[in-house]
């Protein structure tokens, strides 16, 4: 028997990660955010001080990247090459380069191999930008989450503001508009709604309500 994959794609701050985590818990699946795989590679790129135009060097990092996710009751820890990197995945240094690194075709090819191998022996929920469209186009359940730009910006602002009170909503909004545009117009694997995906606009839904909506489709 093969394993099952549920894909969840969507723009930044569309709630993919909270929703993916809760849905996985309810279904007893493993959850993995593919953005974290791109981010994990960036940690090693930074440590090795690789130039971002050294494509062969960057690809080597992803080809040698061993990813493991260990789930506990309420949290999960993300391991790269045996090291727990959970706390540094979202550091500013990584965030600064991940968009550029993940737009490189050869990096995406190497990451695809990791993404596919992770689902070999486990039922999996994977979130990202191209999971239903490129990585698992035959997945039984494919979802696309979205929400109004202002609402996504407010969610992101609330997260950032907790750590840094000088953050401005207007700046978060404008950088989100810019990132949406970059993610949807890039040449390689742009963000798009996978064919046949269930689209859920969760502008006015909580995480629990969004998951309930998805479970309705899964149980239908
Ligand atoms: O979701 P995130 O911010 O952690 O993703 C980090 C970067 O990786 C982001 O710039 C988009 C990119 N990404 C991607 O291109 N494809 C994916 N499946 C997941 C993330």
What confidence tens digit (pLDDT) does each residue in 46-59 have? 999 999 999 999 99
| Pocket lined around ligand 1, Cβ cut-off 6 Å | 12, 34-35, 38-39, 98-99, 102, 128-131
- 20, 98, 124, 144, best to mutate for ligand 1 pocket (most atoms within 8 Å of CB): 98
Distance 220 CA to ligand 1 centre (A): 30
Architecture of domain 37-121: 3-Layer(aba) Sandwich (3.40)
Q: Where are the domains of the chain?
A: 1-29+123-220, 37-121
Q: Where are the beta strands (DSSP E) in the chain?
A: 5-9, 30-33, 67-71, 76-80, 83-84, 124-128, 141-146, 198-201
DSSP code of residue 193: P
Residue 81: CB atoms within 10 Å: 14
Same fold for the pair 1-29+123-220 and 37-121: yes
Fold of the domain spanning 1-29+123-220: Rossmann fold (3.40.50)
Q: Which atom of ligand 1 is nearest to the CA of 186?
A: 15
By most ligand atoms within 8 Å of CB, the mutation choice from 33, 34, 93, 108 for ligand 1 is 34
Which residue has a Cα nearest atom 1 of ligand 1? 35
- List the residue whose alpha carbon is closest to atom 3 of ligand 1: 35
Tell me the per-residue pLDDT of 80-131, one tens digit each, with 9 for 90 and over. 999 999 999 988 899 889 989 999 999 999 999 999 999 988 899 999 999 9
- Alpha carbons 152 and 170: distance in angstroms, whole number: 12
Q: At what angle do helices 34-47 and 92-101 cross, to 10 degrees?
A: 110
Residue nearest to atom 4 of ligand 1 (CA): 35
pLDDT tens-digit profile, the chain (220 residues) = 578 999 999 998 999 999 999 999 999 999 999 999 999 999 999 999 999 999 999 999 999 999 999 987 678 899 999 999 999 998 889 988 998 999 999 999 999 999 999 998 889 999 999 999 999 999 999 999 999 999 999 998 998 899 889 999 999 999 889 888 888 888 888 888 999 999 999 999 999 999 999 999 999 8
Q: How far apart are the first and last CA of the chain?
A: 22
């Amino acid at each position: 028997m093969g394993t099952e994959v549920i894909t969840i794609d969507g723009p930044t701050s569309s709630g993919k990660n909270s929703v993916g985590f809760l849905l996985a818990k309810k279904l007893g699946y493993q959850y993995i955010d593919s953005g974290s795989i791109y981010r994990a590679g960036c940690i090693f790129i930074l440590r090795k001080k690789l130039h971002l135009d050294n494509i062969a060097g960057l690809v080597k990092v992803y080809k040698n990247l061993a990813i493991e996710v260990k789930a506990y009751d309420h949290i999960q820890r993300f391991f790269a090459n045996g090291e727990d990197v959970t706390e540094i995945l979202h550091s500013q240094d990584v965030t600064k380069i991940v968009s550029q690194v993940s737009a490189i075709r050869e990096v995406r090819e190497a990451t695809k191999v990791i993404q596919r191998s992770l689902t070999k022996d486990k039922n999996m929920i994977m979130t990202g930008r191209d999971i239903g469209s490129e990585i698992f186009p035959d997945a039984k359940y494919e979802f696309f989450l979205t929400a109004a730009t202002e609402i996504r910006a407010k969610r992101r602002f609330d997260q950032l503001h907790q750590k840094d009170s000088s953050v401005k909503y207007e700046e978060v909004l404008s950088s989100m508009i810019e990132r949406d545009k970059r993610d949807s117009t890039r040449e390689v694997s742009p963000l798009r709604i996978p064919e046949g995906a269930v689209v859920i606009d969760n502008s006015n839904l909580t995480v629990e309500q969004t998951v309930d909506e998805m479970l309705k489709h899964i149980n239908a």
